Structure 1
Amino acid sequence: MFQHNRVYVGVVSVIFSLGVSASDVEVITIQAQQQSMATESNFAVGNSIQADSADWLASVPGANVNKNGPVSGIAQYRGMFGDRVSVKIDGYNVIGSGPNAMDAPLSYVVPVMLESMSVYRGIAPVSSGMDTIGGAVSVDMKEAEFSTSDWEISGLFQAGYRSNNEADSASFAANIANDKHALLSYYSYYDADNYDSGDDNLVYPTQYEKEQFGLDYRFQYNSGKVGFSYHKTETDDAGTPALAMDIEYISGDRFGLSGTQALSGWDIDWSLGYMESDHGMANFLFRPVANPAAFRNTTAEADTLDFKVHAKTPLPMGSLLVGVDGYMADHDAFITNPNNPAFLVNNFNDVEDNRIGLLAEWTHFFGKHQASVGGRIKFNQSDAGEVSHFMAANNPMVASLVNQFNDADRDDTETNFDFAATVNRIHNANLSFSVGVGVKQRAPSYQEKFLWFPLPVTGGLADGKVYVGNLNLDSETAYQFNMGATYNTGDFSISPNVFYQRIDDYIQGTPSTNAQVINIARMMAGDDSPLQFNNVDAEIYGLDLHWRYNASKHFLISGTASYIKGERRDIDDDLYRIAPPNASIKFSYFGDTWQGDISLTGYANQDDVSLTNLESETPGYGLIDASVSYFFDKVTLQAGVDNLFDREYARHLSGINRAIGGDVAVGDKVLAEGRNLFVKVQYQF
């Protein structure tokens, strides 16, 4: 049942055989390795105690994470991030309640329950998510496992400690099952103080407290399986120094009902999910606020109904997948001042964001080739209720913005489409090639459309700028191309990819020309150049690769490299928050009862920055991490160090600091953690 649970990256190469999914592009999988030791096709990552599962994405070529706080990581893939990247957990669309992505989808993943996290490399198949213009991440959590005999009980205890921020973690999971019924329950707790950078600069506020628990029940019968799951996430008193406020609480309840059924030659995969999330944030939890009138408290809520019915059938030399899926999400958010009962800004009121898709994917094998073609039609409907501002009665500019929004036609319906096609060819026993093309569309997010008042509420952009939305935004359209090769001799493999995306109507903040918006932003936020979400033209291109070399039965060397360039096509400017060129190499040694890993990671300086977003350049840096793991009968011990030489650096994908109270100046990049010693113990039964 439960086996040694360590985090690995598994490289799943293109497969050429009957019965392969239509989504058979190359997949990079971060997975919980089954059994005690790594295999030749897996290499260890994520050695330290992780509270935010998004951090593991940095080990995937082309992928990375935008960090706005220690538990607020946003997935990025090949220069696109946020709502452009589809993130699904157990097949469900997870929609956070925070309008600034403090609770981005991956924050709801339970690290101890992580079975696998897969990134579709290249052009994501249309079946992988509703909006995959920026790629797709699929997370599978452990589910209840059946026994082959009478009732059996298995489980694990896990605990860890990190020295830099005195982080503690403790987790428990238990599975009870027979051959028909299986029940899994778990509990996980993370707690940390503020961390220091490499030069002992206090990075504040970066503390957090996070608690997760839940259960998963499965019942299987002759032709199928049915399951019910419940997951609870509670995050309290967590810092987000790159945003205007910190997390007071996040309380999320996620319910899922799912199953598989064989019916008349079709394999049916269905699910129905519901998620309710409440979120409170404030600027006075950890940050000194001298003026009582400047206190701010925001409360946000989100409810999401998620559904999926996919059916797959074999065809001569291939397969066909058809389906319908989607979600209906409601959002509310209002701002108050606890020192002023009259202060109320109804920021997002009765917002609806509904997205439903119809899809079909066909796979065909012919000779040494495999072709996969898929299409998705997407029906998007959005609306918002009337808004209000406590200053509208006395300030004509505020009243004008309120009236303009309330008098506008906010109900919008549009139809988009996605198309993806990939051809794979086996050249010989060691070499294969792939070519993919796609056209992907994305309707604007509710923040991009319905942010009617100038505020730094942007879905987690964290550039320190003030924005307003645009009810007249068009959907983004990306024309995508990907070409790759895989060379594999058994002991050595390398898989480079090159890619290009031409994006029409890319949604980007550009300087507002609304005099009322400019005056209000200057008066209330000190921003003389607020931005408005508008459609522009852009392009993103680059290359990435991963490789491995089995030097011997016990010694493995592996690595990744990525280069991404994002540019505006309408003006001479670079896109915001693009990861700099980077590479990593890992040396792993496998003994009979132990494993050692040394990782070297390097990031180049990033001077291709967005002038529109006033983005600052960042210098390059190099890091060394090391760990050793010992395996006993039922116990695993792991110890190691991150940032061995205590390097002072800032990730380019971290936001700028907006918090007073630490050693990082307001307006500077948030510094990363300095040297961190860690230890972890796990007992399985």
Structure 2
Amino acid sequence: MRISGPALAVACVSFMVTLPLLAMANQDASEASDLSEVVVTSVHARSPVQVVTDPRQPRQPIPASDAADYLKTVPGFSAIRSGGANSDPVFRGQFGSRLPILTNGSTLLGACGSRMDAPSSYISPDTYDLLTVIKGPQTVIWGPGASAGVVRFDRLPPAFVEPGVHFSASLLGATGGRHDQTAELEAGNSRMYLRGTTNHSQAQDYKDGSSQRIHSGWKKWNADLALGFTPDTRTLLELSAGMGNGHARYASRSMDGARFRRESWGVRFEKKNINAWLTKLEAQAYANHIDHVMDNYSLRPFTPSGGMAMLRASNVQRTTTGGRLAATLQPKASWQLITGFDAQRSPLDWRGGTLASPYQERPWIAEAKLSDLGWFGEASWQATQRTRWVGGLRLDHAKARRYPTGASDHRSRSALPSAFIRWEQQRENGATVYAGLGHVQRFPDYWELIPPGNSASGRGNAFITLKPEKTTQLDLGAHWTGEGWQLWASGYAGVVKDYILFDHAGPRSAVRNVDAVTIGFELGGQCQLASSWKAQATVAGTWSRNRTDGRPLPQIPPSELRVGLDYAEGPWSAGGLWRVVSAQRRYAVGQGNAVGKDFGASSGFGVLSLHASYRLHAKFKLLAGVDNVFNKTYAEHLNLAGNAGFGFPGQTRINEPGRTVWLRADMRFY
């Protein structure tokens, strides 16, 4: 029997409306159940300076397909949208290498010159244990250039006291041909462990709220394996390997992503409590290889008017190798110092082809090589029982080379400094407040320096003339907790000298430095209304200005409000999320970044989503949801815009999915 989308939506909504009544009749069956939140509608800050959460928790809208999808639930985050999957995350209006994204402490970088394969597109949140977001330039120990913040997805080593086997899995199905499968198996004892994680996810082209089909289907899979040795409770040696692949259609580009192949290797070592003053020693080495193919024929009907006159394919590869060595010193009980070195090296190669001359038969051509070597030191001082000072200094030596080599094809910059100092205090009333001042000098990245389109006159100018970007920012924050409620706030004001800006003109872009200022905030809170009811809300906004041109800075997301109401009683839970996004009237037509550009104002919108869950057993849980309940037609402000090959004018934003109904099953055997 085939059930239509609207019929399924009505059934699910009816199911969720009756949940509170059913729950009252099932209270006795729930006393041994896990009552933790089961669907994430808004990720809250756990401290004023950072967000720490479990990315395995399903989120609403529909559980995330990649890192950008999940990060959108964190206040201050948005994404440059291009259709179905593989958006590019933006935090506080900042994008790209201003926001390093690490997986298990390693750097994974895409290869496409237009960031079709953003680093976030290779990350499946369901396969990680911990997501940490550090806001602003308030740390120096996780790599260079982190002016917007740092994002870390980590897998924690499993702990086995006795020999055992752990297994967990989830299945998801949704309208629009969406279905996901995730599984994880852990086996080990107190001396060693083996952990395998795999996931598969795919979706067909979706329809927007007006039933217009959007060229957006995608498919991806990942598989990762880790072997760990724990000869004692203070020592860890872990070897890891992984791979993945997929494809994605884009209604906003003249090509689709036909291959997203990833191969990863890593080794890490940790030793804790070595002596009274050396509390931790850690070492890590990794390699991440990306093989990415773009073409205009394998995933779409070829249309000469779509921006390309013939069948073409482009194959790019990038191998990022790196390492990190760090020591944690504690000369006194009130002092701690983390110091060490990190390094990364990243060559890129390219080859292209046509149907008559396939790219597979052509040799690789070296395009660029970038590298960085950095030293860092970050200290904390517990000045009093309630007051702590944290500060850090980082020095980087960055290099970039493009090919063919010549006198103007190599540049480097030594002693790029980054530093911060932060004051934190815990008040007697339970509040925590902080104020931090940070400075980052960021060397231009591959997307800003190398691609041939990054100059109005061709290949040469940006590579030679671009200066490092210099950001100085003040961050303020507070966190209040009371009986049954909590409230947090963070704000920032930054001055950016030599901000790297793209002026887009047709297929080419002029990249230059300008001076800018940026101001913004994030607020959030939650309140326990009754024993079973909880309300929560977050709001975030950013204001930026290009001081050189006397106009707004481009690609700044509009303000966003999220309001949620959750019910939990016994094995049942239900809730709703109302997402309200304001209109964006501040824009800079034709200006942007390596991916997107501003092409006018955008309208505001509001979207309602509902969810529910029932725990069948301590080991089984069912979840259901309806996103965009009223089938609203809307588009995000940060948007690549349409491609003429699909009938979308170049100044038309791509609409988001219409009503989506999903069902998920989680199981866990420990």
The verdict on a shared fold, with TM-score over 0.5 as the criterion, is: yes
Letter in 2 for 1:51: S
Aligned position for 2:66: 52
Q: How much does 1:100 deviate?
A: 2.1
**How far, CA to CA, are the matches of 1:348 and 1:546 in structure 2?**
50
Q: How much does 1:93 deviate?
A: 1.0
Q: How well do the aligned residues superpose, as a CA RMSD in angstroms?
A: 2.7
- Contact 2:352-2:359 at 8 Å conserved across structures: no
1:274 correspondence with 2:287: yes
- Contact 2:491-2:522 at 8 Å conserved across structures: yes
1:193 correspondence with 2:204: yes
- Contact 2:251-2:646 at 8 Å conserved across structures: no
Aligned position for 2:12: none
1:555 correspondence with 2:555: no
Q: How much does 1:178 deviate?
A: 1.2
Aligned position for 2:565: 587
Aligned position for 2:14: none
Aligned position for 1:94: 108
Aligned position for 1:578: 556
Q: How much does 1:227 deviate?
A: 0.7
- Contact 2:479-2:486 at 8 Å conserved across structures: yes
**Structure 1 residues 341 and 13: CA distance shift in structure 2, 3 A:** closer
- Contact 1:49-1:169 at 8 Å conserved across structures: no
Aligned position for 2:452: 452
**How far, CA to CA, are the matches of 1:343 and 1:429 in structure 2?**
66
Aligned position for 1:656: 641
SS of residue in 2 equivalent to 1:56 = helix
Question: Aligned residues: percent identity?
Answer: 18
Aligned position for 1:356: 373
Kindly indicate whether structure 1 or structure 2 has the higher relative contact order, using CA contacts under 8 Å at least 6 residues apart: 2
The size of the alignment, in residue pairs, is 617
**How far, CA to CA, are the matches of 2:45 and 2:583 in structure 1?**
31
Q: How much does 1:619 deviate?
A: 0.2
**How far, CA to CA, are the matches of 1:134 and 1:489 in structure 2?**
30
- Contact 1:90-1:140 at 8 Å conserved across structures: yes
Structure 1 portions without partners, runs of 5+: 15-24, 35-43, 387-404, 457-464, 513-520
SS of residue in 2 equivalent to 1:131 = coil
Aligned position for 1:330: 347
Please give the residue correspondences for 1:365-376 in structure 2 after superposition, counting only pairs within 5 Å.
365-367=382-384, 368-376=386-394
**Structure 1 residues 156 and 426: CA distance shift in structure 2, 3 A:** closer
Q: Deviations over 1:541-570 (max 9, x none)?
A: 111111111223322111110110121011
Letter in 1 for 2:587: V
Aligned position for 1:635: 620
Aligned position for 1:29: 52
Aligned position for 1:503: 496
Letter in 1 for 2:158: E
TM-score when scaled to structure 1? 0.85
Letter in 2 for 1:654: N
Please give the residue correspondences for 1:18-417 in structure 2 after superposition, counting only pairs within 5 Å.
26-32=49-55, 45-46=59-60, 48-141=62-155, 143-150=156-163, 152-163=164-175, 165-204=176-215, 206-222=216-232, 223-236=234-247, 238-262=248-272, 263-264=274-275, 265-266=277-278, 267-285=280-298, 286-290=300-304, 293-314=309-330, 315-339=332-356, 349-367=366-384, 368-386=386-404, 408-417=408-417
Q: How much does 1:496 deviate?
A: 1.6
**Structure 1 residues 148 and 603: CA distance shift in structure 2, 3 A:** same
Letter in 2 for 1:656: A
Aligned position for 1:41: none
Letter in 2 for 1:210: K
**How far, CA to CA, are the matches of 2:243 and 2:139 in structure 1?**
30
Letter in 2 for 1:160: L
SS of residue in 2 equivalent to 1:470 = helix
Q: Deviations over 1:217-269 (max 9, x none)?
A: 11102231111111211012x11233332101111101111121133332012
- Contact 2:453-2:459 at 8 Å conserved across structures: no
- Contact 1:112-1:171 at 8 Å conserved across structures: yes
- Contact 1:288-1:661 at 8 Å conserved across structures: no
**Structure 1 residues 453 and 647: CA distance shift in structure 2, 3 A:** closer
**How far, CA to CA, are the matches of 1:601 and 1:303 in structure 2?**
39
- Contact 2:614-2:623 at 8 Å conserved across structures: yes
Q: How much does 1:149 deviate?
A: 1.3
SS of residue in 1 equivalent to 2:69 = helix
- Contact 1:293-1:337 at 8 Å conserved across structures: no
**How far, CA to CA, are the matches of 1:169 and 1:409 in structure 2?**
45
Match of 1:539 among 493, 517, 521: 517
Aligned position for 1:402: none
- More displaced stretch, 674-683 vs 605-614: 605-614
**How far, CA to CA, are the matches of 1:447 and 1:216 in structure 2?**
32
**Structure 1 residues 174 and 427: CA distance shift in structure 2, 3 A:** closer
Q: Deviations over 1:508-553 (max 9, x none)?
A: 12378xxxxxxxx6xxx5xxxx431111111111111111112233
**How far, CA to CA, are the matches of 1:231 and 1:340 in structure 2?**
32
**How far, CA to CA, are the matches of 2:407 and 2:517 in structure 1?**
36
Please give the residue correspondences for 1:606-625 in structure 2 after superposition, counting only pairs within 5 Å.
606-613=584-591, 614-625=598-609
- Contact 2:237-2:269 at 8 Å conserved across structures: yes
**Structure 1 residues 348 and 673: CA distance shift in structure 2, 3 A:** farther
Letter in 2 for 1:177: G
Aligned position for 1:459: none
Aligned position for 1:566: 544
SS of residue in 1 equivalent to 2:588 = coil
Structure 2 portions without partners, runs of 5+: 1-33, 592-597
Q: Deviations over 1:364-417 (max 9, x none)?
A: 11223211000100110111121xxxxxxxxxxxxxxxxxx8563424343311
Aligned position for 1:21: none
SS of residue in 2 equivalent to 1:471 = helix
Aligned position for 2:657: 673
